[in-house]
């Protein structure tokens, strides 16, 4: 019998993205993806955006917190591959039109495996080249 693990992960709590242009990144996650600004700590260069039950933290590389990190984000020094957010309800046409209206290049919709199983998924990029996966609910078995 397998031993019960002392840590049970339910969902992504937050991701932290280091940003060269903080306000451009805030507008992308707020206006394009619909996140709500929850908290701003200007003294350290941090904006926290609510993404469903999770948070996306944006850290200004020129701010006090951002200077503690590595080199500023660039194609050769990215600090993550991608992160994925669950999108409910999933309507490919509505999502695609909305992204296109914001000048966002929309990748092909494919079925990918995620935390809830196989479901529709598309990749997009934020203004600083970070890949964001938008994932719909799992498909019926």
Q: Are 8 and 56 in contact (CB under 8 A)?
A: no
Domain ranges, ordered by start, for the chain:
14-135
Decide if 120 contacts 111 (C-beta within 8 A). yes
Mean of the per-residue pLDDT values of the chain: 85
pLDDT at 45: 92
Q: How far apart are the first and last CA of the chain?
A: 28
Q: Do 59 and 16 form a contact (C-beta atoms < 8 A)?
A: yes
Tracing tokens 């394009």 back to the chain, one arrives at: 32
Q: What pLDDT was estimated at residue 107?
A: 87
For residue range 92-128, what is the model confidence (pLDDT) as tens digits?
999 999 999 999 999 899 999 887 889 999 999 999 8
Residues facing residue 134 across a β-bridge: 85, 122
CATH classification code of 14-135: 3.10.180.10
Measured from the Cβ of residue 26, the count of other Cβ atoms closer than 10 Å reads 18
């Amino acid at each position: 019998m397998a031993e019960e693990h002392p840590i049970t992960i339910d969902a992504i709590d937050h991701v932290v993205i280091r940003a060269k242009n903080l306000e451009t990144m805030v507008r992308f996650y707020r206006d394009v993806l619909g996140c709500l600004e929850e908290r701003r700590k200007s003294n350290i260069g941090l904006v926290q955006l609510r993404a469903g039950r999770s948070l996306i933290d944006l850290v200004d590389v020129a701010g006090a917190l951002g200077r503690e990190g590595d080199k500023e984000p660039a194609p050769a020094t990215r600090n993550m591959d991608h992160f994925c957010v669950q999108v409910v309800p999933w309507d490919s046409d509505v999502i695609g039109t909305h992204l296109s209206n914001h000048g966002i290049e929309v990748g092909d919709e494919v079925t990918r495996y995620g935390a809830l199983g196989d479901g529709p998924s598309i990749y997009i990029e934020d203004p600083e080249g970070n890949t964001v996966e938008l994932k719909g609910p799992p498909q019926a078995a």
